[in-house]
């Protein structure tokens, strides 16, 4: 079993490395991959960088080079619903790229041309195990659609629109792209995001991003031990 873990920020993967042994590093397409073990599991971790293109480059390189059996995307997100506040956790049952828009051609917003899909499903078994870990740790979470786009969502009207259009519970900048690459490569994936910003937007992010990222790592280490 080889598990891939992708974060957008260095602090997410640095904290995961503390739980890893037999560490090796390799740089591919500008991305540094850290491989090692957690217990009896092989783990490959990487910082993708922020945004959809960086996330796609990282995911494709990880799949083709390390032949991972699954990928977990961790990190932080902004809440898009009243049920999730700062330091709560969003778990994806599906992902959507909210900035895909060929509606001028008659397509629904979010349609992925070529796949003819709007929503891409996260792996059910991975999702259930992540939820078990969250429940056992007493962390409040919600399962739903996570929306991805190359935009930091800070305006209430932006958040409300995505919640109404896609029933999205959280918004971020990588998960949908990672899900897209996993989908075409037939690799199971999951997305877990700690909420770093609520109604306070960028101010909340600056205050809580690091704490929220640590919470995501705590859960994914437990997940790896249970897979």
pLDDT tens digits, residue range 158-217? 899 999 999 999 999 999 999 999 999 999 999 999 887 655 445 445 555 677 677 788
Query: 189: domain range?
Result: 2-226
CB-based burial of residue 165 (10 Å sphere; 0-12 exposed, 13-18 middle, 19+ buried)? Answer: middle
**CATH number of domain containing 15:** 3.40.50.1580
Give CA–CA dist 19/9, Å, rounded.
17
CB 175 within 8 A of CB 78: no
The full DSSP string for 127-196 is HHHHHHHHHHTT--EEEEEEEE-SS---SHHHHHHHHHHH-EEEEESSHHHHHHHHHHHT--EEEEEEEE
Region for residue 29 given its phi and psi (left: phi exceeds 0; alpha: psi -120 to 50; beta: otherwise)? left
pLDDT tens digits, residue range 25-49? 999 999 999 999 999 999 999 999 9
Residue positions annotated with a catalytic role: 12, 197
- Rounded to two decimals, the pTM is 0.93
> Domain tally for the chain?
1
């Amino acid at each position: 079993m080889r598990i891939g873990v992708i974060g957008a920020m260095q602090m997410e993967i640095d904290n995961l490395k503390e739980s890893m042994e037999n560490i090796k590093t390799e740089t591919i397409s500008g991305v540094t991959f850290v491989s090692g073990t957690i217990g009896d599991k092989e783990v490959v971790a990487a910082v993708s960088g922020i945004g959809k293109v960086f996330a796609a480059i990282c995911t494709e390189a990880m799949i083709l080079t390390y032949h991972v059996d699954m990928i977990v995307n961790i990190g932080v997100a902004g809440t898009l619903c009243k049920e999730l506040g700062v330091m709560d956790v969003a778990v994806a049952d599906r992902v959507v790229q909210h900035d895909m828009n060929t509606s001028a051609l008659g397509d629904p917003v979010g349609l992925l041309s070529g796949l003819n899909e709007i929503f891409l499903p996260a792996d059910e078994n991975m999702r259930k195990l992540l939820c078990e870990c969250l429940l056992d740790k007493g962390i409040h979470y919600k399962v739903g659609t996570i929306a991805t786009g190359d935009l930091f969502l800070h305006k209430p009207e932006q958040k409300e629109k995505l919640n109404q259009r896609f029933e999205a519970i959280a918004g971020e900048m990588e998960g949908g792209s990672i899900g897209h690459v996993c989908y075409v490569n037939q690799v199971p994936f999951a997305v877990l995001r700690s909420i770093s910003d609520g109604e306070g937007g960028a101010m909340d992010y600056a205050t809580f991003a690091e704490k929220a990222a640590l919470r995501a790592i705590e859960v994914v280490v437990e997940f790896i031990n249970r897979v």
